[in-house]
Amino acid sequence: MEYKTEHPIDVMYTEEEVEARIIELGRQISKDYEGKSVHMICVLKGGVFFMTELAKRITVPVSMDFMCVSSYGSATKSSGNVIMKKDLDESIEGKDVLVVGDIIDSGRTLSNLLELLKERKPASLKLCTLLDKPDRRVVQVDIDYNGFTIPDEFVVGYGLDYDQKYRNLPYIGIVRL
């Protein structure tokens, strides 16, 4: 299938490569949570494509919830302060929680989000991201499960967007603006 885009996009990881990596992550998470259930928290909007595909590959019981947070407001640079746009629907106290996001770059938003979630007393709290961009890291974030480590490029697809476009691409690509 050919996707129409307004900007040139160079494929970084094909749909098949992304799918294969998600299968591997699902196996590892299933092994690590054996005998338990995992409560997955999706960081919206970008993480939804990744989380739904990942959940289908996890063999232990799964429950889900969603959060929408931002540290950008109307600026283009992160303030480091998490603004809650949508909070969880249920308590995570005593649950084994896996936060699932699309990409970690500066680390500011996820670092603050993880601190907020720790205060809610989960039994355990781990982080899974599709992409890690360590060259942009400003705040240390411990990643338990990572799909791919990428260079400092502006990427789209598989939930990642440019101006709300290209989330639906089934691959991860570098957008050329």
Active-site residue identified among 96, 102, 105, 132: 105
Around Cβ 27, how many Cβ atoms within 10 Å?
13
Consecutive H or E run containing 43: strand 38-44
Instruction: Name residue 110's amino acid.
Output: L
Identity (one letter) of the amino acid at 138?
V
Question: Active-site residue 105, yes or no?
Answer: yes
CB 99 within 8 A of CB 68: no
Between the two ends of the chain, the Cα-to-Cα distance in Å is: 23
User: Annotated active-site positions, please?
Assistant: 105
